[in-house]
Structure 1
Amino acid sequence: MLADSMVTAYLDRIAAQRPATADLEGLRGIQSRHLYSVPFENLGYHLGEEIHMDERSVDKVVIERRGGGCYELNPALSHLLTALGYEVSLMPGRVWIKGELTAPLCHLALKVRLEGRAWLVDVGFGRNSRFPLDLGTRDPQTDPHGEYRIVPAADGGSDVSANGALQYRVYDVPCSVADFGPTLWWYRTAPDSPFLQNLFCSLPTDGGRVTLKGDRFTEVVGDERYTRRLLDEAEVREVYGKRFGITLERLPATDVGNGTVRMSFE
């Protein structure tokens, strides 16, 4: 259980109000503020950092003021929610990529039981809904980030789609963070790991999104998209700092082979 001082620091980190009770309104506020404050990023994979799924994931978000992927952000959030009185469990998932599902345990999401209903909470995917999704309805769910649906799959899982496009499949089965260890090892070592082949940092904004992939910065504002190549390391550091709140002692190593995005300043 997180110490109360860390709970306060976590809420300050995401500029969220401490809910008076563990209710749906508080959960919605926390998920929304988390998405808009903590980047979806994989810098640690290219900085040679350890990837932690235990309470050290909270330290990364709160103390180091960094982001991460689903294996870090959702476990970190689970510790916060549990300390605030929410009933939280992990949901293993598989990601839809080009019409195919990845292997089991390639995604980690959260289920929060609240007032007799179950809610899908996810701040570690990159195309998340802004608010929790009701796991108990098959009807479309309108969200500021689009129209989401959760429908049963033949293998017992539930497919999550956004605006008609399949995102991932989750399973309501008991699991622990230790179950994701082998897949994390694969993500960190396999030549075709998407986390090694790409270098990214992304945050939603009011009406859009900002993303830095390697040395290419993209800002989406409404229906407009602007992309530019950053000129040097100083400009990369400036974008990480000003747009994502990340200060780096050194830039990620991107020339690691296996198709990884490369920063080549001329």
Structure 2
Amino acid sequence: MDSLRADAYLQHIGVPRPGTAGAAELRALHLGHQLVVPFENLSIHLGQDVPLREEALVEKIVDAGRGGFCYELNGAFGGLLAALGYEVTLMAARVFGEGGRLGPPYDHLALRVAAADGSGPWLADVGFGRHSHFPLLFDSRGEQSDPAGVFRLVETPEGDLDVLRDDAPQYRLERRPRQLADFEATCWWQRTSPKSHFRQSLVCSRLTEDGRVTLSGRTLVVTGSDGRQERELPEHEVLDAYRDHFSIVLDREPQVAPLDA
């Protein structure tokens, strides 16, 4: 990513260009990204491709004003961090599902980030939906408090790391460096398999200053200082909700297709 694209990215997420690739600056970037760029899987239900190339991901987020799921969000964010002087390593993870069952290999993409000020390394993840607001210390095995909960990174006997939020396992992280292209096969599976929860459901979710706003199908949930509010939207309000809550302008409503389609 060149300097002009990095500047456009920073302008999009409302974060000034950092003077140094330090820990405080990484925190601001991590939070700012989640406040602006939604976690969403709309492309799957709009019949759109999801190319895992950095320039295509940045174009979708910055130029088209969209979001994405983990491969897209962390793939693009990793490119931005690298352009700003951070040392970024892509890492694969498997998400814990019902009954503690792990998802497929390359189920999730997260980032190991080394800062120029010698802090960290950090686990950065802006692509897991509801997750930490700020990067987590990668080498810490103690509790790490965050506005989203208390996180811990726990060693497994195989040498991986289980990421826990409030003692609930979120995903199992491998430590081997990966390339964006390594995730293409599972990204295709996530988009096409009837067994993929992304294929089965529709979600668009964004962190807010005092909570979160989520549109699942036509169910709008807003949490904040006033508590939790949920309502079913009539059809004529859905596109307005995407625009008003997520700054996403669509010409048609995304809908989950029958799983045998």
**1:223 shift after superposition:** 7.7
Percentage identity across aligned positions? Answer: 44
- TM-score, with structure 2 as normaliser: 0.95
Distance 2:220 2:107 in 1: 27
Q: 240-249 or 96-105: which moved more?
A: 96-105
Contact 2:74 2:125 in 1 (8 A): yes
Shift >3 Å, 4+ stretches: none
The one-letter amino acid of 1:207's match is D
1:120 — aligned with what?
A: 123
Aligned in 2, Cα 1:250/1:146: closer, same or farther, shift over 3 Å?
same
Query: Which SS does the other structure have where 1:80 is aligned?
Result: helix
Q: For 1:116 and 1:218, how far apart are their aligned partners in 2?
A: 37
Q: Contact between 1:147 and 1:163, CA under 8 Å: does it hold in 2? A: yes
Matched residues in 2 for 1:238 and 1:250: separation? 11
Task: Check whether the contact 1:65–1:246 (CA below 8 A) recurs between aligned residues.
Answer: yes
For the aligned residues, what is the CA RMSD? 1.5
| 1:103 matched residue in structure 2 | 104
- The answer to whether the 8 Å contact 1:153/1:159 transfers is yes
The match for 2:250 is 248
Amino acid at match of 1:40: F
Q: Contact (CA 8 Å) 1:53, 1:76: kept in 2 or not?
A: no
Match for residue 180 of structure 2 among 161, 177, 180 = 177
Gaps of 5+ in 1: 261-266
Pairs within 5 Å for 1:1-266:
2-55=1-54, 56-98=56-98, 99-114=100-115, 115=118, 117-222=120-225, 224-232=227-235, 234-254=236-256, 256-258=257-259
Q: Residue type of the partner of 2:114? A: R
**Cα distance per residue 1:220-257 (max 9 Å; x no partner):** 1248321111012x310111011111001222132x11
8 Å contact kept, 2:23–2:119: no
SS at match of 1:35: helix
Aligned pair count reads 257
Aligned 8 A contact 2:22 2:119 in 1: no
Pick closer, same or farther for the CA change 1:236–1:152 going to 2, 3 Å: same
Give the CA deviation at 1:128: 1.6
Structure 2 residues not aligned, in runs of 5+: none
CA distance in 2, matches of 1:191, 1:229: 25
TM-score, reference length from structure 1: 0.93
